[in-house]
Amino acid sequence: MEHVTRRNVLKATAGAGALLAAGSATPWTWSPAGSVPGTGTGADPKKAWDPEPDELIADVYKRGDVGKVNRALRAWTKNEQPLPAGLSGDLRDFVERSRRLPAWADRDKLADAVTFNQKRGTYLGALYGFASGMMSAVIPHEARAVYYSRGGAQMKDRISKTAKLGYDIGSLNAYAPSGEMSVTCVKTRLIHSAVRHLLPQSAHWSSVSGQTVPITQADMMVTWHSLPTTVMRMLNRWKVPLKHAESEGFLHSWQVAGHMLGIEDQYIPATWATAETQAKQVLDPVLKATPEGIEIADMLRDLGMQLDLTLLSRGVLGSLTRFMLGDKIANDLRIPREPVWDPLLNAAWGPFILVREGVLQAGMPKEAYWTFDEMLRQFVLLYMAELRMPISIELPGGNNPHYK
């Protein structure tokens, strides 16, 4: 694949910034009546960010305190753990408030989410990786923000930290005092503020993004839909039988996560039906490959090579992307067809999932069932191997050094 150089990116995206800027003028019509609180201003989320932490983190950079803040937060890993010393008073107060669950959080629903995750945790990990993870490559704002920020130069590290979010929300004690989900959300929220501060300083990002400041409320909702909404779409497509309480619990766990990541409550859908309505407005229309996204997809398909040269080769990861996200996205990302894996996934993946759900007996060749099961096991090992090491979500020192 042709390497994405500065010249290639600028040439290929000469009109993209204007196109995205024009697209941002599309009126926001989703009603806050469909949100968790059922009310709101109805303000366009494409013109809103996360002002309180944005101002605090901008001050951290201006004071030259990035290292100091990172050293302090490195020791904070558990939801109810006292905050370490070393944070300025204003930042400490913000983190202390932001680590608390919203008043509308329902512990019973969060318990149902645990049951949901227990039943299908292994292939939920695959969905987060192959569907949600690869979808990020065709979300233009997200792909460009990743590519030109520090994460674009440290893709494995960036993916490990993203995987931690999926791992923490699926853990048995996600939001419990001994869990880590609240910590992960707050630290990720601070990282978003850091990227908002740093990326506008990148002439490369500014020339192609069509934005003045990245990671708007709308961008965060697009990413949110690439996770729970996309997962639920897949489960429905495979006709996975879901108990109502467990499905609602899964949604609620992500509603809470959205709030804790800094999304305004008025944009967080109250039900799966309103989530689907919103996704059709904010997610589906924006999916498009960019030179940056093509390069990111190429890097993502290489991640499995270091674990297993057969089961998690580029071909398998590409085929799973095609199966999960469809031919158009796979073709746009320049992912070739796989003569063995493509038909096997189309024929046997659905029955495999239903066997795992206990709905069907193993009515497929044992070799196919074992291959899928082993593939999932290896996929989990790939990410869990990273998660067994301490992963510190920290403020970046700058943007992608390859694009100064």
pLDDT at 402 over 70: yes
123-137, 285-299, 363-377: range with lowest mean pLDDT? 363-377
Per-residue pLDDT, 67: 95
Top mean pLDDT of 95-109, 288-302, 313-327 is at: 95-109
Task: Name the band, by pLDDT with cuts 50, 70 and 90, for residue 26.
Answer: low
Tell me the CA end-to-end span of the chain in Å, nearest whole number: 23
Task: Name the band, by pLDDT with cuts 50, 70 and 90, for residue 245.
Answer: very high
CA dihedral 188, 194, 195, 196 (to 10 degrees): 110
Distance CA 60, CA 259 (A): 23
| Residue 150: its H or E element | none
pLDDT at 15 over 50: no
Residue pLDDT, tens place only, 204-220: 999 999 999 999 999 99
Nearest alpha-carbon partner for 238 in 328, 144, 355: 355
Q: What is the mean pLDDT of residues 323-334?
A: 94
pLDDT at 112 over 60: yes
Answering whether pTM is above 0.95, one says no
pLDDT at 10 over 70: no
8-22, 112-126, 162-176, 268-282: range with lowest mean pLDDT? 8-22
5-9, 27-31, 143-147, 182-186: range with lowest mean pLDDT? 5-9
Per-residue pLDDT, 386: 55
Structure token pair of residue 348: 């046997």
Nearest alpha-carbon partner for 169 in 103, 97, 228: 228
Nearest alpha-carbon partner for 279 in 231, 214, 215: 231
Q: Are 135 and 359 in contact (CB under 8 A)?
A: no
Per-residue pLDDT, 307: 52
